[in-house]
Amino acid sequence: MVVAEFDHDPKYPEPDEHEKRGPCGKFSTLRMLTHKLRHCEKAARSVSVPVSSQCCNDLAKVSIPCLYDVFSSDAFKKVGVDPKIAITIPHRCHKPRGTYLS
């Protein structure tokens, strides 16, 4: 019986924690939608709905890659949310670009 042992090739770096877990870290896209960004659902359906302060506070804790992943997910669309409207929410929180997401 032959047992092969593979050393890690330095040309191919180990994936970092972000790559191992995905853009939303330890949370799935669905969990982000149902738990972390649930206060943003109404504002993501219509631009005429004011964005709640809770939604803006929640967004401050979400990375940009995670936010885009959630906004483009099938789960997001299934709850009747328009990704084109959802992507306007950070701007509607009235915070300068780049400061509302970590």
Q: What's the pTM?
A: 0.65
pLDDT at 56: 93
Which pLDDT value is given to residue 69?
86
What are the tens digits of pLDDT across the range 6-20? 344 455 444 444 445
* Token reading at 47: 């631009």
Q: What's the CA gap between 35 and 70, in Å, rounded? A: 12
pLDDT of residue 20: 55
Identify the segments of the chain with pLDDT beneath 70: 1-20, 95-102
Angstrom distance (rounded) from CA 70 to CA 87: 10
**Phi, psi at residue 36, to the nearest 5°?**
-80, -35
Q: Domains in the chain, ordered, with CATH?
A: 21-92 (1.10.110.10)
Question: What type of residue sits at position 27?
Answer: F
